[in-house]
Amino acid sequence: MSESRNAILGKLRAGRDAHPLTPPESDFAVLRNKRWDGAERLERIKRMMEAVHTEFLETTEADWPADVQAFLTAQGTRNLLFGPATEAGGRLSSEWAASGMAGGPELIPYADRVETFKERLFDGIDAGITTTLGAIADTGSLIVWPTPEEPRLMSLVPHMHLALLRADALYDTFWQAMTENRWADGMPTNALLISGPSKTADIEQTLAYGVHGPKRLVVVIVR
C-alpha cells in the first residue's frame, strides 16, 4: 500500500511544483469580531437551542442535584446514567441518597466498559447526565469532551440527555472557544459540539426528533 502512498504524494508534488498556488491570506476578523455581552450570550444560546427543541432547566450550584431529581421524577424517568467518578457524579449520588425521595429515578453508574454494559445501555436506560465545557452563542452549541469518567455513549444512547452548563462558561464563537483554550495543543479522543436533540428532515423535509440519538436534550443551567 505504501506504493500507492508514494505514487500519490509524488504525483501531487509534481503537479503542485509545476504550477504552484499562492493562496490569499486567511483573515479571521469575521469570526474575531462576533461578540455578544454576557447576558446576551446566554439569551442567544437559549433562543437558538430552543428553536431546535432543546429544553432548559435553570438552577443554582447548591440546588442542581435536587432540582434534577425533582425534574426527572416529575417526568416519570425511571433511571439516570451518570459518571460516578466525576465531581458532579459524586454530588448526585450523595445528595440523592440523602434526600430519600421516594419513587424518584434510580442512579445507574457508567462504570464498566461498554462491552459488558451494552445490552443494558441500549435497552434499559431512560436518561444520561454529563457535564459540558461550556456553550457557544454564535450557533447555540454545547461543548462536550467525553472522558474515561464520562464516556461517549452517555450523551448518545439514552432517550434523554441532560447536560450541566455553567452560566459563566460561555463563548461567542466556536473559533473563539478553540483558540482561547488552545485546543490544538491536545485534542481528546472525541470532542463534540451538541446543538439539540438528534433530528432528521430526510422524509420530505419534515423535521422529526430522536431519530438515532436522544429524543430530548435538557440543558441544566447552573448559576
Partner 1 sequence: MGETSINFAKASSAALQDQQLRGNFRRAMDGLMSKRAVQFADTAEWNGVRTLGASVRLRALSKLPELLEKLEANCTKNGIQVHWASTTDEANAIVLSIMQRVNAKLVVKGKSMVSEEMHLNAFLEKHGIESLESDLGEYIVQLDEAMPSHIIMPAIHMNTKQIAHLFKQKIKEAEYTEDVAQLTDLARRVLRKKFATADVGISGVNMAVAETGTLCLVENEGNGRMSTTVPPVHIAVMGLEKVVEKLEDVPPVISLLTRSATAQPITTYVNMISSPRKEGEKDGPNEIHLVILDNGRSGIYADEELRNTLRCIRCGACMNHCPVYTKVGGHAYQAPYPGPIGSILMPQVEGLEKRGELPHACTMCNACVEICPVKIPIVEIMGRLRSEAVHPGDAVRGAGSHASKAEAMVWKGWSMTYASPLAYQFATALLAKLGNAAPASLPLLKEWTNVRAKPRFANRTLHALAREKGIPDV
- From the list 38, 91, 208, 223, which residue makes contact with partner 1 (rule: CB under 8 A)? 208
Q: Which of 25, 37, 100, 103 binds partner 1 (CB under 8 A)?
A: 25
Any contact of residue 120 with partner 1 (CB under 8 A)? no
Question: Is residue 128 part of the contact set for partner 1 (CB under 8 A)?
Answer: no
- Contact between 200 and partner 1 by CB under 8 A: the answer reads yes
Residue that the C-alpha cell 423535509 belongs to: 205
Residue pair 133/145 in contact by the 8 Å Cβ criterion: yes
The DSSP letter of residue 139 is T
* DSSP three-state, residue 64: helix
Nearer to partner 1, 57 or 193 (CB): 193
Burial grade of 66 (CB within 10 A; 0-12, 13-18, 19 or more): middle
Q: Using CB under 8 A, which of 214, 218, 219, 220 touches partner 1?
A: 214
Told to check if 178 binds partner 1 by CB under 8 A, we report yes
Q: What are phi and psi of 79, to 5 degrees?
A: -155, 160
Please, are residues 123 and 177 in contact by the beta-carbon 8 Å criterion?
no
> For residue 168, which of 120, 200, 135 has the smallest C-alpha distance?
135
Binding mask 67-106 for partner 1 (x = CB under 8 A): ----------------------------------------
Query: Given the C-alpha cell 503542485, which residue does it identify?
Result: 16
**176 vs 7, 70, 198, CA distance in Å?**
39, 35, 25
User: Candidates 15-23, 99-107, 124-132, 163-171 — which segment interacts with partner 1 by CB under 8 A?
Assistant: 15-23
Tell me the closest approach of the beta carbon of residue 206 to partner 1, in angstroms: 4
Cell numbers found for residue 79: 433511571
Binding to partner 1 by residue 11, rule CB under 8 A? yes
Q: Scan residues 29-68 and list those touching partner 1 (CB under 8 A).
A: 29-31, 48, 52
Report the nearest approach of partner 1 to the CB of residue 146 (Å).
8
Cβ closest to partner 1, residue 15 vs residue 103 = 15
Residue with cell 436518561: 127
